[in-house]
Structure 1
C-alpha cells in the first residue's frame, strides 16, 4: 500500500494506491478528472485524463511523476483471516475489471 502527495503552494494532495512486485494497481485515479482545478496541484492537472483503473508496470503509470512517495506499507495477504463474503465480492469486482 503506497501513499504519495503532490505539493501545492499552501497544502498538498494525497493519494493511495497498491504496488505488488513491479505492478501498480489504482482504482480511484479518475477522481482527479472530476475535482476542481483549484483543489489540485499543477502536476496532477498536467497529467489529466486519468484512467478509471490502472493495472500496469509501475513505470508506465503517471503516479511517480505526480506524487512524492511518503510511505509504503507491506501487507501480508492471508485469506484465512478474511471473511468468505469479502473474498466473493473481490472475485466479482476482479471479474468486472478484467472482463
Structure 2
C-alpha cells in the first residue's frame, strides 16, 4: 500500500510542476485546502483507469501494461540524452557530450 501511494504521488507531482510552470493547462495545477494537487491527481488517475479499461477491453494481461510503461520511459530518456548532447555541443563541453550521445544511443 505504501508503494502504491508513493507511485501515485510521484506520477501526480510531475504534471503538477509542469502546470505550475506553464507547460500543462492551469487546471492541472489546482490544489485543495490541504495543498494536495487535485487537478494532477485526477488527471493521472483517469489516465491509469483508461489504461486498465483498455487492457480489460482488449483481453490483455497486466504484463502488457508493464511492457507499455517500460517503453514509455524510453521516450523521455531519449529526449534528455539528445538535449544533453545539444547543450554540451553548444557550450563545447565534450565529456557531457559523450554522455549525451551514449544516452541517446542506448
Structure showing greater Rg: 2
* TM-score normalised per structure 2: 0.30
Structure with more helix by fraction: 2
More RCO (CA 8 Å, sep 6+): 1
**Structure with a larger share of its residues in strand:** 1
